Amino acid sequence: MDILASSLVAGLLIGMILALVALGLTIIFGVMDIVNFAHGEFLMIGMYTGLLTAQATGIDPLLTLPVAAAVGFLLGVICYYGFIKFLMRGPMVAQLLGTFGLMLFLRNLALLIFGSEDRAIHTGLLVGKSFDMGMSVIIPATKLAAAGLSVASFIGIWLLMNRTKIGKALTATALNAQGARYMGIPTERMNALAWGMGGASVTVAGALLVNFWSVNPFVGLLFTMIAFAIVALGGFGSVPGAFFAGLVVGMITEVPGIWDFFSYTFNSDWMLDVPMTSFKYTGVYLAYFIIMVLRPRGLFGWKH
Amino acid sequence: METLRNALDFSDFPRFDLLIAGLVAVFMLVFPLFPHSAFAMATMIQFLMFSLYGMGWNTIGGYGGQVDLGKAQYVGIGAYTTAVLLIRWDIPFWFSMPLGMCFAVLWSFIIGYPLFRLKGHYFAIATIATSLVLMDLFQVWDFVGAARGLEISPIKYHPPDWWRLIFKEDIYYYYVILGFFLLGVFYMNWFRKSRLGYQLRSIKDNEDVARSLGINVHWAKIKTYAIATAFVSMVGSFHACYIKNIEPEDTMSLDISILIALMAMLGGAGSLWGPILGAAVLIPLKSYLKEWLGATAGLAGIDLLLYAIIIMAISAIEPRGIWGIVEKIRRRKRR
């Protein structure tokens, strides 16, 4: 029972952060129908931003979020005006490979600048502190704070998308770019804004993640794939969908723990023999595949 | 007979192209006779392998317009079949290669059936996902050596062993893969004029119209996917004998899949010469950049950085690749 409870709690917590990782992808996809392979690399840059700011200024990593958000926003806008705009004229193949090139570029730039070793934060207000919830459920304070801030960012983005004029303009651009242009919405700027928001939300997620996840230049691909799975499950372009799908995918990454619980409960030898921890993320890829085949719109999708 | 004549008939190309192609073919045939470094030889073999991969990708990705980013899983299936059969039961290459192709094609049918219900981005990402699932599986599967991989030790055999394709000198490998390469070119030349080839191009242009003309779109895609798979798996088997040391990370990683797609894209997807051109540009560039820049301390990754810039430039400026540029210039001249 203990393993099950702690796995479920861990899954929920990591799920909330993964949802924030996927949020940027779903915004960008919803507005402009382009899949950003460099998404995980944006996250990596967010992680480095959080880490380096915290180390340089000596403030707590959680306080570096505004810096990370600003860096992410700039990064997204620069990528859009400098590169993505030109990709949009080409066929879909070019968009896929173009953003893949962007991913390689950012990754190897980071490799050149930061080197390949793992880096992590060991100082900070919350590092090392945890809450004991009983039943051997221990919640690290860093994860709880990250999850909480992630939910806050989600609510912020949701309010922005649904309660403001800019959000309405973004939605209009997403639904029908040409129609939006006729109504006087600067769709070009809306696209850039989508990239900025996407970049900002994912770098914030990176700055939250770096509290308990070590960073190296190659960390991006895993998160790109996880984000794809979440976006597919939640429905391409859906903000609430991304949140709930994030929780589900967080659970999927904790399947090894749940598997352990059942193998102890049934006392079954063959179940213990299965190296489930090696398949931690395989489940996520598999989930993507199955969801896409069975329900291409996703759970909350409005666009296909 | 008709098929053979179609495969050998290149008469619809301009004479200038054929002249160049002939010169290149002659150069490739006599290349090992000139003094060359071992590095140049290895690069040439890599070039031939990747142009074959690219040709395979070109059937589904170029003619069919379905961006497949999961070809590495078939490299893995081919390589692992050959290596496992050779190491465990001493089954020679010429039997294990067709068997590997059968396995790969079978697997391609299994995943291809659901995969081709998807389109565009969704399809591309799903192919990546299947490839990664298979890689994770091979990482823990003890029978095929898990993450350590497999090693074919050449000491047990007596090179040159044509039967098992174990050689000491690269020149033998060069001629074997060159043979495959020429066969591949002829096959592709037949393919682009075949019924399936025309069906695919109509699917690429407009799927709904193709369907209304009575083409079974889903089945045509699956068939082509199997052809592409067979190509890739064949070279994968060769890869196992040539490299002799295969790991999931090397043979099945996403980078290989992307490289394959990129090569065909850069050269010009949907044309006969495209993948070959792409491989001819990218492979030497990649290996020499790595040799010159990557080896220098502190510059790790700079080769891939330049590489990434090339990818970004080609996809933003001329998505139809080098062949697209050539055709553009020609059209301008004709005016």
What count of other Cβ atoms lies within 10 Å of the Cβ of residue A112? 16
CA distance readout (Å), B55 to A33, A280, B50: 29, 35, 8
Write the pLDDT tens digit of every residue in A95-108. 888 888 898 899 88
Size of interface A-B (CB pairs under 8 A): 127
Give which of A196, A210, A212 is closest to A65, Cα–Cα: A210
Torsion of CA B83, B52, B104, B84, to 10 degrees: 0
Query: For residue A249, is it within any domain?
Result: no
Distance from CA of B316 to the nearest CA of A (A): 5
Residues of A with Cβ-Cβ distance to B316 under 8 angstroms: 83, 86-87, 90, 94, 98
The closest alpha carbon to B262, from B328, B329, B330, B309, belongs to: B309
Token pair for B67: 């961006």
Contact A247, A4 (CB under 8 A): no
Closest listed residue to residue A5, CA positions, set A154, A137, A146, A163: A137
Phi, psi of A133 (to 5 degrees): -95, 10
Which residue range(s) make up the domain with A64? 2-219
Q: Which two tokens stand for residue A31?
A: 């507005």
Residue A78 pLDDT: 92
Report how far residue B325's alpha carbon sits from residue B61's, in angstroms, rounded to the nearest whole number.
19
Span B272-315, pLDDT tens digits: 888 888 888 888 888 887 777 656 655 666 777 887 888 888 88
Peptide bond preceding B32 in cis form (omega within 30 of 0)? no
pLDDT in tens, B229-273: 998 999 999 888 888 888 888 788 888 888 888 888 888 888 888
Q: Residue for token digits 């723990």?
A: A257
Q: Chain B contact for A112, CB < 8 A?
A: yes
Q: Which pair of structure tokens corresponds to residue A142?
A: 């860093």
E strands, chain B, in order? 150-151, 245-246
* Distance, CA of B311 to CA of A104 (rounded, Å): 9
Lowest mean pLDDT among A229-243, A266-280, B99-113: A266-280
Residue from B196, B221, B267, B238 nearest B51 by CA: B267
By CA distance, what is A106's nearest residue in B?
B305
- The 10 Å CB-count burial string (b at 16+, else e) for B9-29 is eeeeeeeeeeeebeeeeeebe
- Establish if A104 touches chain B: CB-CB under 8 angstroms: yes
Chain B residues inside the 8 Å CB shell of A78 = none
Instruction: Report the range of poorest mean pLDDT among A29-33, A134-138, B149-153, B307-311.
Output: A134-138
Residue A243 lies in a domain: no
Cβ neighbours of B261 (radius 10 Å): 29
Taking CB atoms and an 8 Å limit, are B132 and A111 in contact across chains? no
Mean pLDDT of B10-33: 82
Contact A293 B126 (CB under 8 A): yes
Judge whether A235 lies within some domain.
no
Between CA A81 and CA A193 the distance in angstroms is 11
Q: Does A289 touch chain B (CB under 8 A)?
A: yes
Alpha carbons A125 and A90: distance in angstroms, whole number: 48
Q: What confidence score (pLDDT) does residue B256 get?
A: 84
Mark B207-241 as b/e (b = at least 16 C-beta within 10 Å): eeebeeeebebeebbbbbbbbbbbbbbbbbbbbbb
DSSP 3-state of A103: helix
Residue of chain A whose alpha carbon sits nearest to that of B133: A282
Residue range A246-250: mean pLDDT, rounded: 87
Task: Answer whether A94 touches B (CB < 8 Å).
Answer: yes
Does residue A75 or residue A256 have the better pLDDT? A75
Please indicate, yes or no, if residue A278 is contained in any of the structural domains: no
Of B130, B304, B312, the CB nearest to A289: B130
Sequence-distant (6+) residues with CB within 8 A of A82 are: none
Residue A139, beta-bridge partner list: A131
Q: What are phi and psi of A4, to 5 degrees?
A: -60, -50
Helix (H, G, I), strand (E, B) or coil at A196: helix
Residue among B127, B207, B312 with most chain A CBs within 10 A, to mutate: B312
Q: What is residue A302's predicted lDDT score, i.e. its pLDDT? A: 57
Number of residues assigned to chain A: 304
Q: Do B125 and A35 touch (CB under 8 A)?
A: yes
Secondary element (H or E) of residue A132: strand A130-132
Of B116, B24, B228, residue with least CA distance to A296: B116
Total domains in the fold of chain A: 1
Task: For residues A168-175, give the mean pLDDT.
Answer: 83
Specify if A17 maps to a domain.
yes
Give CA–CA dist A168/A295, Å, rounded: 27
On whether residue A178 sits in a domain, the answer given is yes
Q: Which of B124, B126, B316 sits opposite A98 (nearest CB)?
A: B316
Position A74 confidence tier, pLDDT thresholds 50, 70, 90: very high
pLDDT band at A77 (very low <50, low <70, confident <90, very high): very high
Residues A46-69, mean pLDDT to the nearest whole number? 84
Q: What is the pLDDT of residue A304?
A: 44
Contacts of B319 in chain A (CB under 8 A): 90-91, 93-94
A85 in a structural domain: yes
**Residue A43: its H or E element:** helix A39-57
E runs forming strands in B76-142:
none
pLDDT in tens, A111-132: 888 877 888 777 666 666 677 6
CA of residue B42 relative to chain centroid, distance: 17
- Closest by CA to B101, choosing from B80, B126, B70, B127, is B80
Question: Is residue A162 in some structural domain?
Answer: yes
Cross-chain Cβ contact A108/B316 below 8 Å: no
Residue A291 tokens, joined:
């969801």
> Of B25, B24, B21, which is closest to residue B11 (Cα–Cα)?
B21
The dihedrals phi and psi of B309, each to the nearest 5 degrees, come to -65, -40
Mean pLDDT across chain A: 82
Query: Would the pLDDT of B151 be above 90?
Result: no
Report the residue from B117, B121, B132 with minimal CB separation from A96. Answer: B121
Give the tens place of pLDDT for each residue, B79-98: 888 888 888 888 888 888 88
> Does the beta-carbon distance from A116 to B67 stay under 8 Å?
no
Percent above pLDDT 90 for chain B: 4
Which residues make Cβ contacts (< 8 Å) with residue B15, sequence separation at least 6?
Answer: none
Average pLDDT of chain B is: 83
Rounded Cα distance between B322 and B269, Å, is: 10
pLDDT at A42: 92
CA angle A255, A205, A211 (to 5 degrees): 80
Of A15-19, B11-15, B69-73, B145-149, which range is least confident? Answer: B145-149
What's the gap in Å between the CA of A294 and the closest CA on chain B?
9
In angstroms, rounded to a whole number, what is the distance separating the alpha carbons of residues A234 and A251?
14
The DSSP letter of residue A140 is E
pLDDT at B296: 61
Residue B149 in this model has a pLDDT that exceeds 60 = yes
Rounded to a whole number, what is the distance in Å from the CA of A39 to chain B's nearest CA? 14
First to last CA, chain B: 40
